[in-house]
Amino acid sequence: MTLYSPRLHFERLSGYDVQPTAATVPGIRVPPSESRVPGNSTWFEALQHKPSYPAMIHDLRSLEPALKYLLDGLSTTDTTYAAANDRAERYARSLENDRDFGVVGTRIGGSIGKGTAIAPLSDVDLYVYLSQEHWRTSRREALLPSTVIGRLRARIVKRLHFEISEGHVSIRSQKHSVGIRFRKPNSVGIDVVPALVENGDASEALIPRRGTDEFVETSVERQIDLIKRLDSPFRYLRRGIRLLKFWNRQTDVGLHSYAVEVLGMHAVHRDCKRTDTGVFLSALRFIAATDMRSPVYIDHFFRFSPRARRSCIIMDPAMPNNNLGELLDARDGYRLGAAARSTLRKLDKAADFADRGNMRISAECLSEAFGQPRLFR
């Protein structure tokens, strides 16, 4: 299986009016100025009438056993990942007990922390919340991001001196984190991410970016909280997101992992069918119908009001000014739309052949839908 690892980016986006809103989950709003397509119709109407959009004329229930089999294979619940989580939690407790380190808390974040990870997994993200007051220069000035990562690395090397000297572990500074890699084959590493917080409040944190020596804002706590709220009680959202992530990886769509998660949450806000395939198909249909020209945002922690019309607006629901699609343009939006339309056509063909009892051809079409020949046999 060919793996694709899109680069992490948390880019700030200017030009958006954002107002705090109560932590409730209202329906998603599509501003009139952003919801129009040629023919004076909304994007939802375009879902049915856009000429290039493949109409789904077959029910996909016949494909659900195969998709369930795929999801089971993507699961990260086996002993390897359980051991990685346990190891990360042990390191977290070790750092928390280091009083001179200024740690105010820890959190296993990323895809593992949100329950949306797919196998194979190379690492676990361990966020270490550090007091901004403690992490300052002798003149009480803010440290540079590269200095924060450097000091964290030195502290980890000190605490893992024995494991390093015995050759069991290697340590390296990375873009946003310090990576701990284990020599044992098939081991899952740990990425220790320093997150500076004020007054012990972990709802918002500053993450260092070593290459440009800048800090970027994020909120792991809000991300985890929102996905838990939307996925209760049946966990269909997380499973649907795993299907989207697999599609994103296998077809080289190239969206960042968190952007894929937001698209899945956005599908739930549009009242998609409460199943994993419902989330998956709803997100694909949105991409196919809009070429990502309609903004993706969820009014929960904040109320978003995008001003300018542009492609690939995927607003981080946990932070007010973070567009996860900032590095994408209209050409990328069309490329995403074309990939989604191709997948939907192949899914429809797979369902058609399955309904007619030709399971071999159905399996071939379903494999092509995910960009991997012979994925289903």
Q: Give the residue-averaged pLDDT of 245-256.
A: 93
Do 149 and 254 share a domain, yes or no? no
pLDDT at 310: 77
Task: Check whether 47 has a pLDDT greater than 60.
Answer: no
pLDDT at 138 over 70: yes
For residues 194 and 240, membership in a common domain is answered with no
User: Residue 281: what pLDDT?
Assistant: 95
What is the span of the domain harbouring residue 298? 16-74+233-369
What local confidence, expressed as pLDDT, does residue 56 receive?
Answer: 63
End position of a domain, from candidates 168, 195, 218: 218
Residues 98 and 179 in one domain: yes
3-class DSSP assignment, residue 346: helix
Q: Dump pLDDT digits (tens) for 320-377.
A: 989 999 899 999 999 999 999 999 999 999 999 999 999 999 999 999 999 999 999 8
Q: What is the CATH number of the domain that holds 278?
A: 1.10.1410
Strand partners, 285: none
What does residue 322 show for φ and ψ, rounded to 5 degrees?
-115, 105
Q: With contact defined as beta carbons under 8 Å apart, do 105 and 129 qualify? A: yes
The count of domains in the chain is 2
Instruction: Tell me if 11 is assigned to some domain.
Output: no
Q: Is there a single domain that holds both residue 182 and residue 52? A: no
Residues 110 and 202 in one domain: yes
Task: Compute the mean pLDDT over every residue in the chain, rounded to the nearest whole number.
Answer: 83
Q: 256 and 167 in one domain? A: no
Are residues 271 and 279 in contact, defined by beta-carbon separation less than 8 angstroms? no
Average pLDDT over residues 63-74: 92
Task: Examine the pLDDT at 300 and tell me if it is beyond 90.
Answer: yes
Of the residues 218, 248, 278, the one at which a domain ends: 218
298 located within any domain = yes
In a domain, 159, yes or no: yes
Task: Tell me, yes or no, whether 374 lies in a domain.
Answer: no
Domain with residue 168: its CATH number is 3.30.460.90
- Residue 151 located in a structural domain: yes
Same domain, 70 and 83: no
Judged against a pLDDT cut of 60, whether residue 8 lies above it is answered with no
Distances 247 to 61, 86, 164, 251, 280 between C-alpha atoms, Å = 19, 29, 38, 6, 9
What is the model's pLDDT at position 347?
A: 96
Contact 66, 346 (CB under 8 A): no
Q: Tokens for 370?
A: 């995910």
Dihedral sign of CA atoms 242, 296, 255, 24 in order: negative
Q: Rounded to an integer, what distance in angstroms lies between the CA atom of residue 10 and that of residue 248?
A: 19
Mean pLDDT on 201-205: 95
Same domain for 115 and 157, yes or no, is yes
Peptide bond into 26 cis (omega under 30): no
Distances (CA, A) of 197 to 27, 110, 135, 316, 327: 31, 18, 10, 19, 27
Residues 242 and 355 in one domain: yes
Of the three residues 167, 188, 218, the one that is the final residue of a domain is 218
Q: What is the pLDDT of residue 116?
A: 92
Overall average pLDDT of the 279-303 stretch: 94
- pLDDT score for 286: 96
206 and 272 fall within a common domain: no
* Contact (Cβ atoms closer than 8 angstroms) between residue 192 and residue 152: yes
Could you tell me if 63 and 137 lie in one domain? no
For residue 240, which amino acid is it?
A: G
> Does residue 224 form part of some domain?
no
* pLDDT computed for residue 6 by the predictor: 32
Residue 51 and residue 175 share a domain: no
- Give the confidence band of 48 by pLDDT, cuts at 50, 70, 90: very low
Give the residue among 201, 217, 188 at the shortest CA–CA distance from 126.
188
Is residue 2 assigned to a domain? no
Distance CA 262, CA 289 (A): 18
**Residue 223 within any structural domain of the chain:** no
